[in-house]
């Protein structure tokens, strides 16, 4: 299968390639560190929030048929969201560079965390049922409480059917201590959840 040139790439693939090229060739990018990128990311979140709040204010007193954003507002929201996606990818790249993450570590961490907290999903769940948003939220928070106090290893965490607690498929190899030697584990988990929240349309809030 022939390799596509950069200009032939679309969507996520194109933006990921932009970030990869910047990491290798851009002198400015090479001087940036993750804490610098976090500042940019925080700014972009605020700008996107302002656009969304502006849209909500415009729609507040409008008729139901007028709820869709105007072309200008839609363009602005897409632009701000694109900036946010770019900054998240840049942050992920910089943290891999600084903390020696694997290229899939944060992505896999995000996916596994969401899978654990949504055991009612037929694609990966254990048969748990969530009939409404409240039950889904309760399951999410229950697993989240069980996760506190340490980071699980890569073993799948599954729900024991008919009971309100979770267990691992295998005995956990260890609880990760909050030490310098394990910064990359902690950072990967946190960054992974950020990526998952932004990129997965199945994430619970």
**Of 39-48, 53-62, 177-186, where does mean pLDDT reach its minimum?**
177-186
Rounded to whole angstroms, the Cα distance separating 30 from 48 reads 27
Residues 113, 202 within the same domain: yes
pLDDT higher than threshold 80 for residue 150: no
> Which domain-ending residue is among 84, 99, 114?
99
CA–centroid distance for 123 within its chain: 19
Least confidently predicted of 67-71, 102-106, 181-185: 181-185
Tell me the average pLDDT across 121-135.
Answer: 92
Tell me which residue of 69, 77, 68, 75 sits closest to 48, measured CA to CA: 77
117, 94: one domain = no
Is residue 191 very low, low, confident or very high in pLDDT (cuts 50, 70, 90)?
low
What CATH number has the domain bearing residue 17? 1.10.287
Instruction: Give percent of the chain above pLDDT 90.
Output: 47
Same domain, 190 and 128: yes
Residues 83 and 120 in one domain: no
Within 10 angstroms of residue 51's Cβ, the number of other Cβ atoms is: 20
Q: Is the pLDDT of residue 9 over 60?
A: yes
Task: Provide DSSP, 42-84.
Answer: HHHHHHHHHHHHHHHHHHTTS-GGG-SPPHHHHHHHHHHHHHH
- The CA distance from 100 to 79, in Å, is 31
Total structural domains within the chain: 2
* Domain of residue 135, residue span: 102-205
Together in a domain, 75 and 169 = no
Greatest C-alpha distance within the chain: 57
């Amino acid at each position: 299968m022939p390799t596509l040139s950069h200009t032939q790439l679309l969507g996520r693939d194109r933006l990921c390639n932009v970030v990869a090229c910047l990491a290798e060739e851009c002198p400015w990018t090479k001087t940036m560190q993750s804490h610098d990128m976090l500042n940019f990311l925080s700014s972009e979140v605020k700008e996107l929030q302002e656009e969304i709040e502006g849209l909500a204010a415009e729609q507040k007193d409008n008729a139901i048929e007028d709820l869709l954003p105007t072309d200008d507002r839609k363009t602005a929201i897409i632009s701000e969201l694109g900036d946010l996606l770019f900054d998240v990818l840049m942050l992920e790249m910089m943290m891999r560079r600084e903390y020696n993450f694997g290229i899939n570590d944060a992505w896999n961490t995000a996916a596994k965390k969401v899978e654990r907290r949504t055991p009612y999903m037929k694609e990966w769940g254990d048969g748990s049922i969530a009939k409404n948003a409240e039950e889904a939220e309760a399951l999410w928070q229950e697993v989240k409480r069980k996760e506190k106090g340490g980071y699980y290893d890569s073993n799948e965490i599954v729900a024991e059917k008919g009971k309100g607690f979770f267990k691992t498929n295998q005995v956990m190899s260890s609880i990760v201590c909050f030490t310098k030697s394990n910064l990359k584990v902690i950072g990967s988990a946190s960054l992974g959840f950020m990526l998952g929240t932004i990129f997965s349309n199945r994430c619970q809030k």
